[in-house]
Amino acid sequence: MLFKCISYFNIENFDPILSDIHCPVVIHFDTSVILESVDTLSHDDNSNVVYKPKWKNNNANVFLENLNDENIHDLVEKLENLDVNNINVETVNNVILNCNSIIKNAADKADMIVEFKPKNSRPGVRSKKCKPYFNQDCYLKRKAYRKCKNLHWRLQRAETKENLIASSREYKRTLKKQFREYQKSVVDKLKICVNLIQKHTGLF
């Protein structure tokens, strides 16, 4: 897809200042080009699930065995018969689609198409890795702390250091407060459960 954006491509003469062994490659991209969206691999209409290829060494032989020789032969024959002076975007896209189809079919049979569920990246929403007491206040304090940290890393000034220390203390203070409140709520719920058990069973 990025081929449409390339407006200039050239391999320049060797320059020892730029590299010890490589020639510089110059590419200009045209940012005004509008690209069409490319659909991810999908086996159904479930928008919450995407399928991506993942290589598995144990299934390498299965993958090789399922590469369709007939389709590969047809693709090679098409490439050999191409008129290099009369190639357009549609021709290139068709070749790429045929090549991808051969690889995807073999990968699918070798169990190399894996299901991925996209992570929830919305700010302020607690992920599975967050602590149960990590709420919106904690998220905002952490965001402010990281902002001060990045600013101090760039500027290295006394003022930014003071702001970093202050935001760090505020972030830790908020975490401790939310943790204490969470502990208290858990203890209160346990007490309620114990009281209910005592009331209805008389075991205690």
Q: Of 64, 135, 139, 138, which Cα lies nearest the Cα of 106?
A: 64
Model pTM score: 0.38
Name the helix (H) or strand (E) containing 149: helix 136-155
Report the sign of the C-alpha dihedral through residues 13, 16, 22, 28, in that order: negative
Name the helix (H) or strand (E) containing 52: strand 50-53
User: 134: how many CB neighbours lie within 10 A of its CB?
Assistant: 18
Q: Of 111, 106, 99, which Cα lies nearest the Cα of 56?
A: 111
Rg (CA), the chain: 29
> Which CA distances in Å does 7 have to 14, 28, 36, 96, 139?
22, 5, 18, 21, 44
50-63, pLDDT tens digit by residue? Answer: 777 888 888 889 88
Weakest mean pLDDT among 28-42, 75-89, 110-124, 131-145: 28-42
For 74-143, the DSSP string reads: HHHHHHHT--TTS--HHHHHHHHHHHHHHHHHHHHHTT-EEEE------TT---TTS-TT--HHHHHHHH
Which is more confident, 53 or 40? 53
Which is more confident, 25 or 51? 25
